[in-house]
Chains A and B, each alone.
Chain A
Amino acid sequence: MPIDDSSKPEPVLKPVLRESASFPRQVLAEIHRAAAEGVYAIRGFGAKRRVPNFDDLVLLGASVSRYPLEGYRERCATEVVIGTRFAKKPITLKIPITIAGMSFGALGSHAKEALGRAATQLGTSTTTGDGGMTEEERLASKTLVYQVLPSRYGLNPDDLRRADAIEVVVGQGAKPGGGGMLLGQKITERVAGMRDLPVGIDQRSASRHPDWTGPDDLTIKIQELREVTDWEKPIYVKVGATRVAYDVALAVKAGADAVVVDGMQGGTAATQDVFIEHVGIPTLAAVRLAADALVELDQHRKVQLIVSGGIRSGADVAKALALGADAVSIGVAALVALGCNREAYVEDYQKLGTMPGFCHHCHTGRCPVGITTQLPELEARLDPELGARHVRNYISTLVLELQTLARACGKSHVLNLEPEDLAALTIEAAAMARVPLAGTNWIPGVSGG
């Protein structure tokens, strides 16, 4: 017998909640925060929103028209020499992956030491940062790049001469045109001493160099650095990716041995969130602009191009090299290998108002895993030896991935990868990287078809 349920009330449908596209919860929360505090958000880490990146490209492995190399048999070389243009002592890296500049101050000494040890074991370089060179870092790193930054904290001629290469930092991918802000809670006695500042005050890093103002001055500045170091050290110029073609051309004209182009996905110890998310162009777009500028000047592979900003995997490295880079540099990914955002000490993440996987609290100095902190009890959580092991394992994995991809493309040296080995999955990536959209011979803005 059919059941008569006509007497039962209609089930009440729950209204479907619909989030505003213009004002989703994250935007609402930011407006509420700004209304309460009246100051922009400052944070560490890199860009959090998705922008066109190397995932939007694929490599074209060999088949009939190309001949692959045997994966576990044939050699695929990885070494790269940097500073071949002018330096008396160019540096040879066993792998085309270097560790980017991160300051003592932003990082604790255990993290710096771990990165130095790992780089030495891998035969690559690590880089100082805003706070100058520490003894631990010099001892731990066989090949150390010394940064000359606008702040000029800790800069001195002895360390210039003890360095293996010098990097004149004009800008950083996370904040082109901007200075830094290391909040007072991270300025311990040692950090303050290295920076000639009182303990505990917010430390503003300048956005421009104190003693030169344009490309003509930069030429003379580079000449001075070379004179101080008797023309031995390769001189890099690092720019945040914005007007890449012009900046690379001017860096070359100024006499750089190598240019470092840092895309917008690059990390930072502390800067305005609005900078991290809204200033600069993606690394993917920057590589091709930089490589083209070097080709136009007939300096490609003569002035080495080092690319950084959000590099995570061997595939990213392979694609960057195929687009014309000589090497890549990693920052955030190296910290992640050290344990950044690792599922541990969860209650400490919670105290910061975050969770593993979401953390960007490097600027607070209370890093739950002991990387970006000066507090001894937190720093003790990072064992430099074990940290070095993890970074070494991670970068070795990148190298293996890079080699296996290069062999599949038929290359006996990773630097033989070329744009012809790539196709794009999106029109945006095809236009930015200037490689054909997969399945077509169409490069937006370049070719028909």
Chain B
Amino acid sequence: MQIDLDQVSIRELNQRLHGLSPETNWREVRIVNPKGRHALAVGLTLPIEVTVEGHVGYYCAGMNKEAAVTIAGHAGPGVAENIMSGVVRVEGNASQYAAASGRGGLVVIEGDASARCGISMKGVDIVVGGSVGHLSAFMAQRGHLVVCGDAGADLGDSLYEARLYVQGRVESLGADCIEKEQTAAHQEGLAALLERARIKADPRAFRRYGSARRLYHFHTDHAHAY
């Protein structure tokens, strides 16, 4: 099925996708002429494959469940926000808060991601082929953020139990984020994640970061950390 956004509205697009029955034959959907429009292919619940041919605006593939969405272009802010499961792949770069508050599934950004990538993540796995901007993984709770390039300032600020892997330079670590030992088990997990994301990189070249867990209970002696 091909849907041309020069011909149909966003509303019609999403309604058609939501209206698909689990038995549908439309397992592959191509969306053409996205032209930076917002809220494309949001709230999908079926294991279908959706390819968006071009650049998208805000919140593309938001709250995705089950579907595999590929954006053959760049993505605006909040791509795959609150993703539950499935895969969202951005072949280009992504703007701010990619995969924010994601709870499951996999988000792959082949290019760079901007500031606050993975902010408030709650179980999603994010693999970025390039670099991420500042405050990425802020208050991240669960899941993995893998950065093959560099990370901007204050990586992992106020981190909970999410795991961060960075291959390049980290400008600075945020409050309570520390470098942690990279064991063989971690490397194995990272290798599997990179493979799943179809991103080529040597897991041994990454450094691991996580929470020092000093801020898990608020106390005045921590106040300087903020």
> What is the 8 Å Cβ interface bit string for chain A, positions 358-374, against chain B (1 contact, 0 not)?
00000000000000000
Question: By the criterion CB–CB under 8 Å, are A156 and B103 in contact?
Answer: yes
Asked if A11 lies at the interface with its beta carbon under 8 angstroms from chain B, I say no
Chain A interface main SS type: loop
B100 CB to nearest chain A CB (Å): 4
Chain B interface main SS type: loop
Question: By the criterion CB–CB under 8 Å, are B63 and A211 in contact?
Answer: no
A152 vs B10: C-alpha distance in the bound complex, in angstroms? Answer: 25
CB contacts under 8 Å to A, within B14-37, are 14-15, 18
Question: By the criterion CB–CB under 8 Å, are A198 and B101 in contact?
Answer: no
With A201-B216, A220-B39 given, is the CB distance from A210 to B116 under 8 Å? yes
Question: By the criterion CB–CB under 8 Å, are B42 and A217 in contact?
Answer: no
Asked if B174 lies at the interface with its beta carbon under 8 angstroms from chain A, I say no
- How large, as a class, is the contact surface on chain A? 20 to 34
Question: By the criterion CB–CB under 8 Å, are A228 and B161 in contact?
Answer: no
Question: By the criterion CB–CB under 8 Å, are B42 and A224 in contact?
Answer: yes
Question: By the criterion CB–CB under 8 Å, are B103 and A211 in contact?
Answer: no
A201 is contacted by which of B78, B103, B217 (Cβ under 8 Å)?
A: B217
CB contacts under 8 Å to B, within A352-400, are none
A170 CB to nearest chain B CB (Å): 16
A217 vs B161: C-alpha distance in the bound complex, in angstroms? Answer: 29
Chain B residues within 8 Å of chain A by Cβ, number: 45
Asked if B70 lies at the interface with its beta carbon under 8 angstroms from chain A, I say no
Chain B residues positioned under 8 Å from A229 (CB to CB): 43
Partner-binding segment picked from B54-62, B106-114, B126-134: B54-62
Question: By the criterion CB–CB under 8 Å, are B42 and A228 in contact?
Answer: yes
B42 is contacted by which of A181, A206, A227 (Cβ under 8 Å)?
A: A227
Counting chain A CB atoms within 10 Å of each CB, which of B38, B63, B97, B119 scores highest? B63
Asked if A230 lies at the interface with its beta carbon under 8 angstroms from chain B, I say yes
Question: By the criterion CB–CB under 8 Å, are B216 and A224 in contact?
Answer: no
Asked if B200 lies at the interface with its beta carbon under 8 angstroms from chain A, I say no
Listed from nearest, the 4 A-B pairs whose CB atoms lie closest are A228-B43, A38-B220, A152-B101, A211-B100
29 sample A-B contacts, Cβ–Cβ < 8 Å, listed by A number: A39-B219, A39-B220, A153-B122, A156-B103, A157-B82, A161-B43, A181-B218, A184-B216, A184-B217, A195-B141, A196-B103, A196-B141, A198-B160, A198-B161, A201-B160, A206-B139, A210-B116, A211-B59, A211-B96, A211-B119, A221-B59, A224-B38, A224-B78, A227-B14, A227-B42, A227-B43, A228-B14, A230-B14, A230-B18
Besides A202-B216, A204-B139, A210-B120, 6 other A-B contacts (C-beta < 8 A)? A184-B216, A210-B101, A211-B119, A221-B58, A224-B42, A228-B14
Taking beta carbons and an 8 Å cutoff, which residues of B are in contact with A?
10-11, 14-15, 18, 38-39, 42-43, 45, 57-59, 62-63, 65, 77-78, 81-82, 84, 96-97, 100-101, 103, 116, 119-120, 122-123, 138-139, 141-142, 158, 160-161, 216-221, 223
